[in-house]
Amino acid sequence: MYRFVLHALLLGALLMTSACGDDASTPTNPTSTPPPTITETFSGSINRNGAATHTFLAQDAGTVTATLTTLSPAGTEAIGLSLGTWNGTACQIVIANTAAAQGAVILAVASSAGNLCVFVQDVGKIAAAASYEITVVHP
C-alpha cells in the first residue's frame, strides 16, 4: 500500500510539473509608440533682403518637418528656409536650405521637447515682396 501511494504521488507530481513547461516562445520587447504629431501653419511675406521667424513648441522628441507649401508671386525663384532652436531672442539655425522653392521640405529630429523655430529669408532672389506659407509637423 505504501508503495502504491508513493507511486501515485510521484505520478501526480510528474503530471503537475509537465504542465508548467517552457512554451519556447521568445519574449518580445514592447514597441515604442511615436509621439502624436501637431501640424501648424505659418504664413506671411518678406521683402527683398527681409526675413521672418515663427516659433513653436515641440512637446516631445521626434521628427520635425517643415514644408514650404506656398511661395508667390509666380516667378519667385527661391527663399531661405531653416529650422532651428528658439533661444528667446533669435532662431539658432540648425538646418538650412538657401534655395527653397515651393514644395521644399526640411526634415530634422528634435532630441527632446523644447522651443523650436522656422526661419524664412530672402537670399537675393526676390525682386519684391514674396508671400509664403509653411506647414510644420512636429511632436
More confident of the two residues 53 and 34: 53
Predicted pLDDT of residue 4: 36
Could you tell me the sign of the dihedral formed by the alpha carbons of 68, 73, 78, 82, in that order? Answer: negative
Q: Is the pLDDT of residue 29 over 90?
A: no
Q: Could you tell me the CA-to-CA distances from 59 to 34, 36, 89, 115, 135 in Å, in that order?
A: 12, 9, 20, 9, 17
| Global confidence as pTM | 0.75
Could you give the domains of the chain?
A: 38-138 (2.60.120.380)
pLDDT (tens digit, 9 = 90+) per residue, 55-92? 999 999 999 999 999 999 877 789 999 999 999 999 99
Q: Please answer whether residues 133 and 43 qualify as being in contact, where contact means their C-beta atoms are separated by less than 8 angstroms.
A: yes
pLDDT of residue 2: 38
CA angle 113, 119, 124 (to 5 degrees): 160
**Which whole-number Å values give the CA distances from 46 to 27, 96, 109, 133, in the listed order?**
56, 17, 27, 11
